[in-house]
Amino acid sequence: MSIPIIRRGITVGDRKINSLINDLRATKKKLLEGGGEEKIKAQHAKGKLTARERINLLVDENSFTEINPFVKHRVNWFNMDKKRYPGDGVITGFARINGRPIYLYAQDFTVIGGSLGEMHGKKIARIYDLALKNGMPVIGLIDSGGARIQEGVISLSGYGEIFYRNVMASGVIPQISVILGPCAGGAVYSPALTDFIIVVDKISYMFVTGPQVTKEATGLETTFDELGGARVHAEKSGVAHFLAESEEEAFMLVRELLSYLPSNNMEDPPIVDTNDPADRMDEELNSILPDDSNKPYDVRDIILRIVDNGELLEVQSLFAPNAIVGFARLNGRTVGIIANQPNYLAGALDIDASDKIARFIRFCDAFNIPLVTFVDTPGFLPGIDQEHGGIIRHGAKILYAYSEATVPKVTIILRKAYGGAYIAMSSLHLGTDYVFAWPTAEIAVMGPRAAVRILYKRELASADDPERFLKDQSKKYADLFANPYIAAEMGYVNDIIEPRETRPKIIKVLETLENKRESLPPKKHGNVPL
């Protein structure tokens, strides 16, 4: 008698479960539609992808797992009870990129304009909490109308929760922001707190106040592009680190960038088999510098001959072009490259270059990436604008960053290394482990002509042929000081090498520094000259 009852119960249960599963499938299918067909069409009409399309392009195939897809906002003001969408305008979850696990969030502009409210913010904060616990990078795909005005101060609290986690995660896990639409008002400060910002030309916009408010406040008329377009932040403000021509290129940049980085500050960067011999020499380097030490050249030509397979991922390539920073590999291991660029401002250090270099040093130090510095600079850039703009304060950031960094540090002096810039550019005096110099190196307080004008001021004024006198004395000064030998005699340069030997020399030194251990004096934190 009991058997039919059990069978009957199972049959009834099957029907119920099947009904619930069908409901779940229908609900999840609805989730995939975001704000609906019309909103998706509008997104595509702007030349933009949807949040889910972006995730599928970015991550490894079938690796994304969504978290909290059913979350909705809790506010009823301003008819918001009629605008409840599952997910609340942001998709969050975890996935893999190049086989490595990451957490990510993607704001969905088709849902309430991707505006950030209380629950939207909580979803992003939850992703950060999980990423910090598990030591995994966070990638944010940002496309938002900003704070959800209908939620008032509640929406602002959401931003605050995210900002706090950005700071807590800084130096612990890599954070990458990809701007794929508007990012305005308080929203800009979360990307600004992350390690890298990628913008897309004609799609990305970042500003604290938009064109309309700017006009009302200042009377100046401007456009979205002129005020905070992708190129503005890549070239002028330095806010953006990479400029992409399309969303697809932006996602390729994310994948390439992550390939150089560890997942967290407790790991070393991944080792890649590049098939580039560690003992490879490049004879062209012996004749690559111009005979005239005042003649410019592109320092990239030197860097690309030294690093593995001639590959350099340059960071902020359009901003402060008198300095080069970026990631490369030597014998398969990630290194941070820093170099003066004689092709622009003769490689002099100015306010923007100082900020660019110092920030990059601190990122590399936080994530166990050795620093390799190529020096050719006549000094800090002179001028009223520079002095009034605070070149003293900004230049001090380089000194601070190099001195604070405990990762392996190797320096190669190519040509000019004058005055305070010689000290600042990873000199032995700032705790650098090894300093090499090419025979072309000029290490002195200042350039020969400037030195002679000071040393022989009276003689120069009374000379029959001042220009001839200046030229002769400059040559004598250069022969005495504008070379690497006195610095080598003092032990400030560890070795003078042939340029062709540079790659194998750096690799050998870095191998000896693999187990380097160095600690700073106990303190809560230092006071960076911000």
- Catalytic residue positions, numbered: 185-186, 420-421
The full DSSP string for 482-529 is SSSHHHHHTTSSSEE--GGGHHHHHHHHHHHTTT----PPS-S-----
d(CA 406, CA 383): 33
User: Among positive and negative, which fits the CA dihedral 449, 453, 456, 460?
Assistant: positive
Helix, strand, coil % over all residues of the chain, rounded to 5: 45, 20, 35
What is the pairing mode between strands 409-418 and 371-377?
parallel
DSSP code of residue 380: B
Element (H, E) at 20: helix 2-31
Q: How far apart are CA 295 and CA 162, in angstroms?
A: 49
User: Under DSSP, is residue 297 helix (H, G, I), strand (E, B) or coil?
Assistant: coil
Q: Are 241 and 196 contacting, i.e. CB atoms less than 8 angstroms apart?
A: yes
How far is the first Cα of the chain from the last one, in angstroms, to the nearest whole number?
Answer: 83
Phi, psi dihedral angles at 92 (to 5 degrees): -130, 155
Evaluated on CA atoms 278, 305, 276, 428, the torsion sign reads: positive
The dihedrals phi and psi of 84, each to the nearest 5 degrees, come to -95, 120
Cα gap 115→146, rounded to integer Å: 5
Q: Is 230 exposed, middle or buried (0-12, 13-18, 19+ CB in 10 A)?
A: buried
Token pair, residue 194, equals: 């992350």
> Residue 63, exposed/middle/buried by CB under 10 A (0-12, 13-18, 19+)?
middle
Closest CA to 518 of 413, 406, 404: 406
